[in-house]
């Protein structure tokens, strides 16, 4: 017989972790901003995404910049993932983030090993989200959640689609236009959805160096109150 005083308590969903992406600032400015951000202790993962660098500079410069960024993250014990560059990730023994149509998670896992983070952009594609899990990814990224500076033409993914990830039991990263002003909407609308990471670029990196630490502390407060 069930004890009438016994109550079943739902497991508390852990707060998401902050996943920071670099922007295309000049390298000295970027390093200054990142050091201020990483020093707050709120950043869990750093994605090196330097699209203009790849277009404007030679390969030697790309590797030189990557070495500086990886070294800085290492000083703070922050995991690094390279954006869509398996060779760079292999060279620096970092993780990798693959776009929706960029490369194979399975191949990346075979080359990089089991100890690094590998992510896959899935947008609203649940089949791709499930495939990423099967192939050994660490997380699947869904979004765009809001209009984004870095992806202005991306399609907004409904929260109803995000809720379907619960049944897959695979770490979720939310991407696209997420800011301190709108992250509360995500918390309220997706209260029952486990979210591993919230990815942020412009809401932190578009600001001046002297405001970066305050921005990161504000993010820590938001996530701590999840």
b/e burial code for range 160-176 (CB count within 10 A of at least 16 → b): eebeebeeeebbbbbbb
18 CB-side CA count, 13 A: 27
200 CB-side CA count, 13 A: 30
| Low-confidence winner among 43-57, 66-80, 168-182 (lowest mean pLDDT) | 43-57
pLDDT at 221: 98
> Are residues 83 and 48 in contact, defined by beta-carbon separation less than 8 angstroms?
yes
Specify binding-site residues: 47-51, 83-84, 102, 121, 148-151, 177
80: phi then psi, degrees, rounded to nearest 5: -115, 140
The string of pLDDT tens digits covering residues 110-159 is 999 999 999 999 999 999 999 999 999 999 999 999 987 767 787 999 99
> Are residues 113 and 119 in contact, defined by beta-carbon separation less than 8 angstroms?
no
Q: Which helix (H) or strand (E) holds 95?
A: strand 95-98
Average pLDDT of the residues in 1-16: 59
pLDDT at 3: 46
Domain boundary assignment for the chain: 18-224
- Spatial CB neighbours of 11, under 8 Å, sequence gap ≥ 6: none
pLDDT at 7: 41
Average pLDDT of the residues in 67-75: 99
pLDDT at 8: 39
pLDDT at 143: 95
CATH superfamily, with its number, for domain 18-224 = Aldolase class I (3.20.20.70)
Mean pLDDT, the chain, rounded, equals 93
The string of pLDDT tens digits covering residues 144-157 is 999 877 677 879 99
pLDDT at 34 over 80: yes
Average pLDDT of the residues in 19-31: 97
Report residue 51's pLDDT band, with 50, 70 and 90 as the boundaries: confident
Percent of the chain with pLDDT over 70: 93
Average pLDDT of the residues in 161-183: 98
pLDDT at 11: 62
The number of helix segments (H) and strand segments (E) in the chain equals 10, 8
Dihedral angle of Cα 119, 140, 197, 23, to the nearest 10 degrees? 50
9 versus 54: the higher-pLDDT residue is 54
Specify binding-site residues for Mg(2+): 84, 102
pLDDT at 57: 80
């Amino acid at each position: 017989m069930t004890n009438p005083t016994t109550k079943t308590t739902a497991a508390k969903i852990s707060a998401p972790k902050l996943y920071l992406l670099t922007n295309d600032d000049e390298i000295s400015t970027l390093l200054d901003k990142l050091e201020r951000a990483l020093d707050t202790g709120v950043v869990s993962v750093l994605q090196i995404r330097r699209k203009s660098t790849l277009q404007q500079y030679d390969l030697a410069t790309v590797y030189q910049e990557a070495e500086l960024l990886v070294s800085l993250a290492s000083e703070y014990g922050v995991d690094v993932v390279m954006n869509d560059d398996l060779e760079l990730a292999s060279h620096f023994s970092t993780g990798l983030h693959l776009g929706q149509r960029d490369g194979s998670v399975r191949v990346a896992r075979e080359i990089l090993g089991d100890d690094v983070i590998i992510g896959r952009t899935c947008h609203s594609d649940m089949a791709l989200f499930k495939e990423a899990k099967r192939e050994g990814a660490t997380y699947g990224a869904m979004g765009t959640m809001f209009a984004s500076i870095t992806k202005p033409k991306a399609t907004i993914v409904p929260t109803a689609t995000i809720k379907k990830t619960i049944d897959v039991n695979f770490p979720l990263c939310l991407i696209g236009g997420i800011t301190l002003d709108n992250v509360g909407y995500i918390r309220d609308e997706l209260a029952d959805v486990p979210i591993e990471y919230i990815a942020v670029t412009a809401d932190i990196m578009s600001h001046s160096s002297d405001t970066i630490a305050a921005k990161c502390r504000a993010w820590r407060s938001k996530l701590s109150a999840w």
